[in-house]
Amino acid sequence: MSRHPLPVTFEEVPAEVVARHSSRGFCYKKKMVRTVPGRFSLSEAYLKLADAHYNFEFRSSDVVLLSYPKSGTTWASELLWAMMNIDHLDSMEKKNIHGRAFYLDKDFAHPIPEEDLIRFRQKLPDAKAEEGVILQLAAAEKGPRLLWSHMPLLLLNPDMLNTCKVVYVARNPKDVCVSAFHFISKLRFEGLKVYQGEFSDFAEVFMDDSFMMMPYWEHIQQAWQQRDHEHLHIMFYEDMKKDLMGELRKLNLHLMTGLTEQQLRQVSEAASFDRLKSLEAKMPIFKAVDGSFFRKGQTGDWKNIATSELDIRMDRWIQEKSRMIGITFQYS
Ligand code: PAP
């Protein structure tokens, strides 16, 4: 396949934006860059791998999961993995999802965990880690792969959608904001806390669209615009909560996995919130957070934390943005 030039250039996130975030509780010290156009914010570490990440080669046997962060990616990835590996569900007890699937942004989103480096050195002794540990491990995998990414479609190989099956998980912005707040408040980067502010301040930064991996709406919009593409299936977290079997039946058709009702039930149980949480107690999936990665796993937690004033502001923001895109979310 031919290589594609990146469709964006990068600029440093302006000092006044960083100062605004600091004043609202962010302690993140690494440099951030953002795309032009799109203003999609990323850590500076992305720049070195941008070309390799953008040109990652997908195969027709791949399943790719995409999402804005905190939208239910881990749940969806476990469901997809279980559907693709129905005869090997016992592997979930032996390796966490990072050992069974590939998080393509991991090389620049977080410091690479030691266990990934060990796997990399064993499997690819001559490869260079700075060229992407996970990217190269994924490229070396021969069988059908489950890959996932939080990048917007703009920053993924333009051949991807025409090559393999893609699933995009979307979650309502209020609950994404709450989930992200709790996650970032518990997150340490190189030993340092990333956020030490109040929820209301966090929500302002979220609506300001300029922190890491933002803006949320453009991420959603890029997938929504492709919703009729035959290789793309969009799934909502709220629907998964309400009728998981219904969503699994749709996935079964999309992936052409041909699973029976009983197998789909097995899949849903294998990836239930309680099951994943109990597996996490034996095999932490994300060591950089204090406490459990699996927090509440509910729809509507926003109403337990947002003041009515913030709720009004958020509703206004949602109305304005979602009308432009033509998408509606469920909030309970
Ligand atoms: P990531 O961006 O760090 O990958 P992601 O997995 O997308 O996070 O989303 C995490 C959310 O999914 C958490 O939501 P909460 O903070 O509101 O609780 C997490 O609890 C939720 N989640 C994970 N697994 C499940 C599950 N099996 N059922 C329901 N929700 C789940």
What contacts 128, CB < 8 A, 6 or more positions away? none
Question: What percentage of the chain exceeds 90 in pLDDT?
Answer: 87
Closest ligand 1 atom to 77 CA: 6
pLDDT at residue 260, as a whole number? 98
**For the whole model, what pTM was predicted?**
0.97
- List, in order of start, the domains of the chain with CATH numbers: 55-173+216-325 (3.40.50.300)
Q: 241-290 pLDDT, tens per residue?
A: 999 999 999 999 999 999 999 999 999 999 999 999 999 999 988 877 77
**What one-character-per-residue DSSP string does 295-330 give?**
----S-GGGGT--HHHHHHHHHHHHHHHHHHT----
Longest dimension (CA), the chain: 57
pLDDT at residue 53, as a whole number? 98
d(CA 64, CA 97): 14
pLDDT at residue 7, as a whole number? 97
Residue 226 pLDDT grade (very low, low, confident, very high; cuts 50, 70, 90): very high
d(CA 176, CA 291): 19
Question: Of 9-18, 120-129, 241-250, which gets the smallest average pLDDT?
Answer: 9-18
Task: Report the pLDDT averaged over residues 117-127.
Answer: 97
Select from 70, 106, 267 the residue to mutate for testing ligand 1; criterion: most ligand atoms less than 8 Å from CB.
70
Q: 288-308 pLDDT, tens per residue?
A: 777 888 999 999 999 999 999
Q: If you average pLDDT over every residue of the chain, what do you get?
A: 95
Ligand 1 centre to CA of 168 (Å) is: 15
Helix axes 261-270, 73-84, angle to 10 degrees: 140
Q: 73-101 pLDDT, tens per residue?
A: 999 999 999 999 999 999 999 999 999 99
Residue 2 pLDDT grade (very low, low, confident, very high; cuts 50, 70, 90): confident
Q: Is the CB of 75 under 6 A from ligand 1?
A: yes
Distances 49 to 131, 140, 217, 263, 308 between C-alpha atoms, Å: 7, 17, 25, 39, 43
Question: What percentage of the chain exceeds 70 in pLDDT?
Answer: 100
Q: 43-75 pLDDT, tens per residue?
A: 999 999 999 999 999 999 999 999 999 999 999
Q: Is the CB of 276 under 6 A from ligand 1?
A: yes
Residue identified by tokens 């979650």 is 171
pLDDT at residue 1, as a whole number? 63
Distances 201 to 18, 81, 245, 264 between C-alpha atoms, Å: 14, 37, 37, 41
Task: Report the pLDDT averaged over residues 216-221.
Answer: 96
Residue 214 pLDDT grade (very low, low, confident, very high; cuts 50, 70, 90): confident
pLDDT over 80 (residue 210):
no
Other beta carbons less than 10 A from residue 194's beta carbon: 21
Q: Is the CB of 219 under 6 A from ligand 1?
A: no
